Amino acid sequence: MSKFRIRGRKKQKKEQLLHHAVPLRMMVPNMLTFMAAAFGISAIRYACLGRWKASVVSILIAAMFDGVDGRVARLLSATSKLGAELDSLSDFVSFGVAPAILMYLWFIPAVTQESVFYPIRGLFWGIALFYALCCGFRLARFNIMIEEGPTQPYWKHFFMGLPAPGGAGLVILPIICSFIFGDVCRSPLLGAASLLTCGVLMASRFPTISAKKIRVPRNWMMPVLLLVLFTIGMLISQFWLTLSCIGILYYLTIPIGGYCFYRLKRKAQQ
Protein backbone atom coordinates (compact mmCIF):
# COMPACT_ATOMS: atom_id res chain seq x y z
CA MET A 1 0.00 0.00 0.00
CA SER A 2 2.85 2.34 0.77
CA LYS A 3 4.22 1.99 -2.80
CA PHE A 4 0.85 2.87 -4.28
CA ARG A 5 0.57 5.89 -1.97
CA ILE A 6 4.02 7.12 -2.97
CA ARG A 7 3.19 6.74 -6.67
CA GLY A 8 -0.12 8.52 -6.13
CA ARG A 9 1.59 11.41 -4.40
CA LYS A 10 4.18 11.71 -7.20
CA LYS A 11 1.42 11.70 -9.79
CA GLN A 12 -0.49 14.35 -7.83
CA LYS A 13 2.62 16.56 -7.63
CA LYS A 14 3.20 16.24 -11.40
CA GLU A 15 -0.39 17.26 -12.06
CA GLN A 16 -0.03 20.28 -9.77
CA LEU A 17 3.17 21.35 -11.55
CA LEU A 18 1.48 21.03 -14.94
CA HIS A 19 -1.51 22.97 -13.65
CA HIS A 20 0.70 25.87 -12.50
CA ALA A 21 2.96 25.80 -15.57
CA VAL A 22 2.71 28.78 -17.94
CA PRO A 23 2.45 28.06 -21.68
CA LEU A 24 5.30 29.47 -23.73
CA ARG A 25 2.87 31.48 -25.88
CA MET A 26 1.90 33.48 -22.77
CA MET A 27 5.49 34.75 -22.53
CA VAL A 28 5.84 35.93 -26.14
CA PRO A 29 4.05 39.32 -25.71
CA ASN A 30 6.09 40.09 -22.58
CA MET A 31 9.28 39.26 -24.48
CA LEU A 32 8.29 41.77 -27.17
CA THR A 33 7.56 44.37 -24.47
CA PHE A 34 10.99 43.79 -22.94
CA MET A 35 12.54 44.22 -26.38
CA ALA A 36 10.80 47.60 -26.70
CA ALA A 37 12.11 48.63 -23.28
CA ALA A 38 15.62 47.44 -24.17
CA PHE A 39 15.67 49.60 -27.30
CA GLY A 40 14.31 52.55 -25.32
CA ILE A 41 17.09 52.23 -22.75
CA SER A 42 19.62 51.81 -25.57
CA ALA A 43 18.35 55.09 -27.06
CA ILE A 44 19.39 56.83 -23.82
CA ARG A 45 22.86 55.27 -24.04
CA TYR A 46 23.31 56.35 -27.66
CA ALA A 47 22.13 59.87 -26.80
CA CYS A 48 24.73 60.12 -24.04
CA LEU A 49 27.39 59.08 -26.57
CA GLY A 50 26.17 61.67 -29.09
CA ARG A 51 25.10 59.03 -31.60
CA TRP A 52 21.89 60.78 -32.59
CA LYS A 53 20.90 58.57 -35.51
CA ALA A 54 21.34 55.37 -33.50
CA SER A 55 19.26 56.87 -30.69
CA VAL A 56 16.44 57.91 -33.03
CA VAL A 57 16.42 54.50 -34.72
CA SER A 58 16.27 52.79 -31.31
CA ILE A 59 13.17 54.80 -30.38
CA LEU A 60 11.56 53.93 -33.73
CA ILE A 61 12.28 50.22 -33.23
CA ALA A 62 10.84 50.44 -29.71
CA ALA A 63 7.67 51.93 -31.24
CA MET A 64 7.47 49.01 -33.68
CA PHE A 65 7.72 46.45 -30.87
CA ASP A 66 5.16 48.43 -28.85
CA GLY A 67 2.72 48.29 -31.75
CA VAL A 68 3.16 44.54 -32.09
CA ASP A 69 3.10 43.22 -28.52
CA GLY A 70 -0.54 44.04 -27.82
CA ARG A 71 -1.74 42.55 -31.09
CA VAL A 72 0.32 39.40 -30.51
CA ALA A 73 -1.12 39.10 -27.00
CA ARG A 74 -4.68 39.27 -28.33
CA LEU A 75 -3.88 36.89 -31.19
CA LEU A 76 -2.42 34.28 -28.81
CA SER A 77 -5.06 34.94 -26.10
CA ALA A 78 -2.17 35.85 -23.81
CA THR A 79 -3.36 39.17 -22.39
CA SER A 80 -2.66 39.70 -18.69
CA LYS A 81 -2.50 42.44 -16.07
CA LEU A 82 1.25 41.86 -15.79
CA GLY A 83 1.64 42.47 -19.51
CA ALA A 84 -0.38 45.68 -19.30
CA GLU A 85 1.78 47.02 -16.45
CA LEU A 86 5.00 46.05 -18.25
CA ASP A 87 3.75 47.77 -21.39
CA SER A 88 3.13 51.02 -19.50
CA LEU A 89 6.56 50.95 -17.86
CA SER A 90 8.20 50.21 -21.21
CA ASP A 91 6.29 53.07 -22.87
CA PHE A 92 7.33 55.51 -20.16
CA VAL A 93 11.00 54.65 -20.64
CA SER A 94 10.94 54.42 -24.44
CA PHE A 95 8.58 57.31 -25.29
CA GLY A 96 8.87 59.52 -22.21
CA VAL A 97 12.34 59.38 -20.66
CA ALA A 98 14.40 58.48 -23.75
CA PRO A 99 13.07 61.23 -26.09
CA ALA A 100 13.33 63.84 -23.31
CA ILE A 101 16.98 63.01 -22.63
CA LEU A 102 17.73 62.74 -26.35
CA MET A 103 16.24 66.16 -27.14
CA TYR A 104 17.96 67.82 -24.19
CA LEU A 105 21.40 66.39 -24.96
CA TRP A 106 20.94 67.22 -28.65
CA PHE A 107 20.19 70.95 -28.39
CA ILE A 108 21.86 71.94 -25.09
CA PRO A 109 25.37 72.21 -26.68
CA ALA A 110 23.95 75.10 -28.73
CA VAL A 111 23.42 77.04 -25.48
CA THR A 112 26.98 78.37 -25.24
CA GLN A 113 28.23 81.14 -22.96
CA GLU A 114 27.68 83.61 -25.80
CA SER A 115 24.03 82.57 -26.15
CA VAL A 116 21.27 84.76 -24.71
CA PHE A 117 19.76 81.61 -23.22
CA TYR A 118 22.85 80.71 -21.19
CA PRO A 119 21.64 82.33 -17.91
CA ILE A 120 18.41 80.31 -18.08
CA ARG A 121 19.89 77.07 -19.45
CA GLY A 122 18.49 75.15 -16.45
CA LEU A 123 15.00 75.92 -17.74
CA PHE A 124 15.54 73.59 -20.68
CA TRP A 125 16.09 70.60 -18.38
CA GLY A 126 12.84 71.51 -16.62
CA ILE A 127 11.04 71.49 -19.97
CA ALA A 128 12.51 68.06 -20.76
CA LEU A 129 11.26 66.81 -17.38
CA PHE A 130 7.86 68.32 -18.12
CA TYR A 131 7.58 66.29 -21.31
CA ALA A 132 8.58 63.04 -19.57
CA LEU A 133 6.10 63.61 -16.73
CA CYS A 134 3.31 64.43 -19.18
CA CYS A 135 4.01 61.10 -20.89
CA GLY A 136 3.77 59.31 -17.52
CA PHE A 137 0.49 61.06 -16.78
CA ARG A 138 -0.89 60.14 -20.20
CA LEU A 139 -0.01 56.45 -19.70
CA ALA A 140 -1.54 56.38 -16.21
CA ARG A 141 -4.75 57.92 -17.54
CA PHE A 142 -4.80 55.42 -20.40
CA ASN A 143 -4.64 52.52 -17.92
CA ILE A 144 -7.65 53.92 -16.08
CA MET A 145 -9.54 54.54 -19.32
CA ILE A 146 -9.28 50.86 -20.31
CA GLU A 147 -12.04 50.21 -17.77
CA GLU A 148 -13.58 53.68 -17.45
CA GLY A 149 -12.97 55.16 -20.90
CA PRO A 150 -15.43 57.34 -22.84
CA THR A 151 -18.37 55.35 -24.18
CA GLN A 152 -19.66 57.95 -26.66
CA PRO A 153 -19.63 56.61 -30.24
CA TYR A 154 -17.81 59.67 -31.61
CA TRP A 155 -14.71 58.69 -29.57
CA LYS A 156 -14.42 55.40 -31.52
CA HIS A 157 -11.90 56.73 -34.07
CA PHE A 158 -9.94 59.00 -31.72
CA PHE A 159 -7.42 58.89 -28.90
CA MET A 160 -7.83 61.13 -25.89
CA GLY A 161 -4.62 63.10 -26.15
CA LEU A 162 -1.58 62.30 -28.24
CA PRO A 163 -0.53 58.62 -27.88
CA ALA A 164 2.89 58.03 -26.33
CA PRO A 165 4.60 56.57 -29.45
CA GLY A 166 3.17 59.37 -31.60
CA GLY A 167 4.33 61.97 -29.09
CA ALA A 168 7.83 60.50 -29.08
CA GLY A 169 7.93 60.55 -32.87
CA LEU A 170 6.83 64.17 -33.07
CA VAL A 171 9.07 65.43 -30.28
CA ILE A 172 12.21 64.14 -32.01
CA LEU A 173 11.11 65.49 -35.40
CA PRO A 174 13.59 68.43 -35.23
CA ILE A 175 16.43 65.91 -34.80
CA ILE A 176 15.22 63.93 -37.82
CA CYS A 177 15.00 67.13 -39.87
CA SER A 178 18.55 68.05 -38.83
CA PHE A 179 19.83 64.91 -40.57
CA ILE A 180 18.65 66.54 -43.82
CA PHE A 181 19.01 70.29 -43.27
CA GLY A 182 21.95 70.31 -40.86
CA ASP A 183 22.41 72.31 -37.66
CA VAL A 184 19.93 74.97 -38.78
CA CYS A 185 17.31 72.88 -36.93
CA ARG A 186 19.49 72.57 -33.81
CA SER A 187 17.88 75.41 -31.91
CA PRO A 188 17.10 75.42 -28.18
CA LEU A 189 13.89 77.33 -28.90
CA LEU A 190 12.75 74.72 -31.44
CA GLY A 191 13.69 71.87 -29.10
CA ALA A 192 11.91 73.44 -26.13
CA ALA A 193 8.82 74.23 -28.23
CA SER A 194 8.72 70.62 -29.45
CA LEU A 195 8.95 69.27 -25.88
CA LEU A 196 6.29 71.65 -24.58
CA THR A 197 3.87 71.11 -27.47
CA CYS A 198 4.05 67.31 -27.42
CA GLY A 199 3.92 67.20 -23.62
CA VAL A 200 0.76 69.33 -23.50
CA LEU A 201 -0.87 67.32 -26.30
CA MET A 202 -0.18 64.03 -24.49
CA ALA A 203 -1.53 65.25 -21.16
CA SER A 204 -4.55 67.02 -22.67
CA ARG A 205 -7.93 65.58 -23.58
CA PHE A 206 -7.64 66.85 -27.15
CA PRO A 207 -8.83 64.19 -29.63
CA THR A 208 -6.25 62.81 -32.05
CA ILE A 209 -6.96 60.41 -34.90
CA SER A 210 -6.60 56.68 -34.21
CA ALA A 211 -5.76 54.49 -37.19
CA LYS A 212 -6.89 51.30 -35.43
CA LYS A 213 -10.50 51.46 -36.58
CA ILE A 214 -10.12 53.28 -39.88
CA ARG A 215 -11.76 51.35 -42.70
CA VAL A 216 -10.69 51.82 -46.33
CA PRO A 217 -13.52 51.73 -48.92
CA ARG A 218 -13.17 48.95 -51.46
CA ASN A 219 -12.79 51.35 -54.41
CA TRP A 220 -9.91 53.07 -52.55
CA MET A 221 -7.97 49.85 -51.90
CA MET A 222 -5.71 50.12 -54.94
CA PRO A 223 -4.72 53.83 -54.48
CA VAL A 224 -4.01 53.22 -50.78
CA LEU A 225 -1.95 50.12 -51.58
CA LEU A 226 0.05 52.06 -54.17
CA LEU A 227 0.64 54.85 -51.66
CA VAL A 228 1.91 52.33 -49.09
CA LEU A 229 4.25 50.77 -51.66
CA PHE A 230 5.52 54.23 -52.66
CA THR A 231 6.14 55.09 -48.99
CA ILE A 232 8.08 51.86 -48.46
CA GLY A 233 10.21 52.60 -51.50
CA MET A 234 10.91 56.13 -50.29
CA LEU A 235 11.80 54.88 -46.81
CA ILE A 236 14.40 52.61 -48.36
CA SER A 237 15.86 55.24 -50.69
CA GLN A 238 15.33 58.47 -48.68
CA PHE A 239 14.77 57.31 -45.11
CA TRP A 240 15.19 60.54 -43.15
CA LEU A 241 13.43 62.75 -45.69
CA THR A 242 10.44 60.37 -45.84
CA LEU A 243 10.35 60.11 -42.06
CA SER A 244 10.33 63.92 -41.79
CA CYS A 245 7.42 64.15 -44.25
CA ILE A 246 5.48 61.51 -42.28
CA GLY A 247 6.07 63.48 -39.07
CA ILE A 248 4.90 66.75 -40.63
CA LEU A 249 1.79 65.05 -42.05
CA TYR A 250 1.07 63.59 -38.61
CA TYR A 251 1.29 67.08 -37.13
CA LEU A 252 -1.27 68.25 -39.70
CA THR A 253 -3.70 65.48 -38.73
CA ILE A 254 -3.96 66.90 -35.20
CA PRO A 255 -6.04 70.02 -36.06
CA ILE A 256 -7.88 68.09 -38.81
CA GLY A 257 -8.73 65.32 -36.35
CA GLY A 258 -9.94 67.87 -33.80
CA TYR A 259 -12.22 69.48 -36.38
CA CYS A 260 -13.66 66.08 -37.43
CA PHE A 261 -14.19 65.07 -33.81
CA TYR A 262 -16.12 68.19 -32.80
CA ARG A 263 -18.17 67.93 -35.98
CA LEU A 264 -19.14 64.33 -35.11
CA LYS A 265 -19.81 65.35 -31.52
CA ARG A 266 -22.09 68.18 -32.64
CA LYS A 267 -24.06 65.80 -34.87
CA ALA A 268 -24.40 63.24 -32.08
CA GLN A 269 -25.72 65.84 -29.63
CA GLN A 270 -28.36 67.23 -32.00
Q: What is the pLDDT of residues 145-187, one digit of tens each?
A: 765 555 676 677 788 889 999 999 999 999 999 999 888 888 8
Does a structural domain hold residue 2?
Answer: no
The reported pLDDT for the residue numbered 183 is: 80
CB 139 within 8 A of CB 91: yes
CATH number of domain containing 161: 1.20.120.1760
Query: Is residue 23 one of the residues assigned to a domain?
Result: yes
Give the range of the structural domain holding residue 66, as residue numbers without chain letter: 7-269
What percent of the chain shows pLDDT beyond 70?
A: 87
pLDDT at position 192, please?
Answer: 94
The whole-angstrom separation of Cα 220 and Cα 121 is: 51
Q: How confident is the model at residue 95 (pLDDT cuts 50, 70, 90)?
A: very high
Are the C-beta atoms of residues 72 and 35 closer than 8 Å to each other? no
Q: Is residue 37 part of a domain?
A: yes
At residue 211, does pLDDT exceed 80? no
DSSP code string of 210-254: -STT----GGGHHHHHHHHHHHHHHHHHSHHHHHHHHHHHHHHHH
Ramachandran quadrant class, 150 (left: phi over 0; alpha: psi -120 to 50; beta: rest): beta
Distance CA 214, CA 217 (A): 10
Whether the pLDDT of residue 5 is over 60: the answer is no
What is the identity of the amino acid at 112? T
pLDDT of residue 157: 78
In whole angstroms, give the CA distance from residue 12 to residue 216.
55
**108 lies in some domain:** yes
CB-based burial, 31-62: b 16+ in 10 Å, e otherwise: ebbebbbbbbbbbbebbeeeebeebbbbbbbb
Return contacts of 115-120, CB within 8 angstroms, 24+ apart. Answer: 115/188, 117/188, 117/189
CB 94 within 8 A of CB 37: yes
For residues 64 and 75, the model is more confident at 64
The reply to whether 152 falls in a domain is yes
HSE on the CB side for 215, CA within 13 Å? 3
Whether residue 1 lies inside any domain: the answer is no
Across the chain, mean pLDDT equals 85
3-state secondary structure of 2: helix
Q: Which of 26-30, 78-82, 256-260 has the highest mean pLDDT?
A: 256-260
> What band does 77 get if pLDDT is binned at 50, 70 and 90?
confident
Residue type at position 210: S
48 Cβ contact partners less than 8 Å away, ≥ 6 residues apart: 101, 105
Domain count, the chain: 1
- Give, to the nearest 10 degrees, the angle between helix 98-107 and helix 121-148: 160
DSSP 66-97: HHHHHHHHHHTT---HHHHHHHHHHHHIIIII
pLDDT of residue 51: 95
Rounded (10°) CA dihedral 111, 113, 119, 120: 10
Structure confidence by residue, pLDDT tens digits, 34-64: 999 999 999 999 999 999 999 999 999 999 9
Lowest-confidence pick of 28-37, 150-159, 196-205, 218-227: 150-159
Q: What is the spatial distance between Cα 156 and Cα 191, in angstroms, rounded to a whole number? A: 33
User: Is residue 247 over pLDDT 60?
Assistant: yes
Region of poorest pLDDT, from 25-29, 49-53, 231-235: 25-29
Q: How high is the pLDDT of residue 17?
A: 46
Question: Does the pLDDT value for residue 203 go beyond 50?
Answer: yes
21 lies in some domain: yes
- The pLDDT of residue 82: 78
Half-sphere CA count of 194, side-chain side, radius 13 A: 29
31 domain residue, yes or no: yes
